[in-house]
Chains A and B, each alone.
Chain A
Amino acid sequence: MISASKRILLFIFGSLTSVFAQSTLEQQFKFANQLFTHEKYFDAITELKRLQFFDIDNKFSFQSNYLIGKSYKAGAKFDEAVNYFTRAEMNSENDDDYFTSKIFNARTNILRRTTKQAEKILNELLNDPRFISKEKEINYWIGWNYIFSDEWEKAFEVFNENRLDTTLAELCKTVDDEMYSVNFAKYCSYLIPGLGQFYTGEYVSGTLSLGWNILFGYLTINAFIEDRVFDGIIIGNFLWLRFYSGNIQNAEKFAIQKNLQISNKALDYLQYQYKGEKP
Chain B
Amino acid sequence: MLKIFYLIILLSSIMFSQQIDFQSPENIKLFADFLFCDNDYLRAIDEYEKYLVAVDDDLVQFKITIAYSSMNDCENAINKLGLIKKTSPFYEQSKIELLKSLYLQNIDSVFYAVAETLINSKSLYANNAYRLKNTALLLSKTELPEKESFLIPFEVEEKKTISDFYNLKKNPPYKSEALAGVLSAIIPGSGKIYTKDYGDGITAFLLTGLFTYLAYTNFEHDHPTRAWIFAALGAGFYVGNIYGSVASAQIFNAKVNFEFNEGVKLFLEDKKYFTPNYDFCK
Secondary structure call for the A interface: helix
Query: Which single member of A9, A28, A53, A231 contacts B34 (CB below 8 Å)?
Result: A53
Q: Which A residues are within 8 Å of any B CB, using their own CB?
A: 9, 12-13, 16-18, 20-21, 23-25, 28, 45-46, 49-50, 53-54, 230-231, 234
Taking a contact as CB atoms under 8 Å apart, the answer to whether A13 and B43 are in contact is no
Q: In the complex, what distance in Å separates the CA atom of A234 from the CA atom of B226?
A: 12
Given A24-B20, A28-B22, A54-B20: A46 in contact with B46 (beta carbons within 8 A): yes
- Residues of B within 8 Å of A234, CB to CB, are 210, 214
Q: In the complex, what distance in Å separates the CA atom of A165 from the CA atom of B210?
A: 65
A selection of 13 A-B contacts at a CB cut-off of 8 Å is: A12-B11, A17-B15, A20-B16, A21-B18, A23-B19, A24-B19, A25-B20, A28-B20, A28-B22, A46-B47, A50-B22, A53-B34, A54-B20
Q: In the complex, what distance in Å separates the CA atom of A53 from the CA atom of B47?
A: 13
Q: In the complex, what distance in Å separates the CA atom of A53 from the CA atom of B27?
A: 10
Instruction: Identify which of B43, B210, B217 gathers the most chain A CB atoms within 10 Å of its CB.
Output: B43
Taking a contact as CB atoms under 8 Å apart, the answer to whether A16 and B15 are in contact is yes
Q: Which B residues are within 8 Å of any A CB, using their own CB?
A: 7, 11, 14-16, 18-20, 22, 27, 30-31, 34-35, 40, 43, 46-47, 210, 214, 217, 226
Taking a contact as CB atoms under 8 Å apart, the answer to whether B43 and A20 are in contact is no
Q: In the complex, what distance in Å separates the CA atom of A204 from the CA atom of B22?
A: 70
- Residues of B within 8 Å of A28, CB to CB, are 20, 22
Q: Residue on A with the closest CB to B10?
A: A13
Q: Residue on B with the closest CB to A21?
A: B18
- Residues of A within 8 Å of B30, CB to CB, are 53
Q: In the complex, what distance in Å separates the CA atom of A12 from the CA atom of B15?
A: 10
Taking a contact as CB atoms under 8 Å apart, the answer to whether A50 and B11 are in contact is no
- Residues of B within 8 Å of A49, CB to CB, are 31, 34-35, 40, 43
Taking a contact as CB atoms under 8 Å apart, the answer to whether B27 and A54 are in contact is yes
Q: In the complex, what distance in Å separates the CA atom of A28 from the CA atom of B20?
A: 10
Secondary structure call for the B interface: helix
A129 to chain B, nearest CB (A): 37
- Residues of A within 8 Å of B226, CB to CB, are 231
Given A9-B7, A13-B11, A17-B14: A50 in contact with B19 (beta carbons within 8 A): no
B152 to chain A, nearest CB (A): 45
A274 to chain B, nearest CB (A): 34
Q: Residue on A with the closest CB to B12?
A: A16
- Residues of A within 8 Å of B47, CB to CB, are 46
- Residues of A within 8 Å of B210, CB to CB, are 234
Q: In the complex, what distance in Å separates the CA atom of A234 from the CA atom of B233?
A: 13
Taking a contact as CB atoms under 8 Å apart, the answer to whether A50 and B16 are in contact is no
- Residues of A within 8 Å of B18, CB to CB, are 17-18, 20-21
- Residues of A within 8 Å of B31, CB to CB, are 49-50, 53-54
Q: In the complex, what distance in Å separates the CA atom of A42 from the CA atom of B34?
A: 17
Q: In the complex, what distance in Å separates the CA atom of A49 from the CA atom of B33?
A: 12
Q: Residue on B with the closest CB to A17?
A: B18
Taking a contact as CB atoms under 8 Å apart, the answer to whether B40 and A21 are in contact is no
- Residues of B within 8 Å of A17, CB to CB, are 14-15, 18
Taking a contact as CB atoms under 8 Å apart, the answer to whether A20 and B19 are in contact is yes
Taking a contact as CB atoms under 8 Å apart, the answer to whether A21 and B22 are in contact is no
Taking a contact as CB atoms under 8 Å apart, the answer to whether A13 and B22 are in contact is no
Query: Which single member of A9, A21, A45 contacts B20 (CB below 8 Å)?
Result: A21
**Shortest 3 CB-CB distances between A and B: which pairs?**
A17-B18, A24-B19, A20-B18
Taking a contact as CB atoms under 8 Å apart, the answer to whether B22 and A46 are in contact is no
Q: In the complex, what distance in Å separates the CA atom of A30 from the CA atom of B27?
A: 19
Q: Residue on B with the closest CB to A16?
A: B15
B40 to chain A, nearest CB (A): 7
Taking a contact as CB atoms under 8 Å apart, the answer to whether A54 and B40 are in contact is no
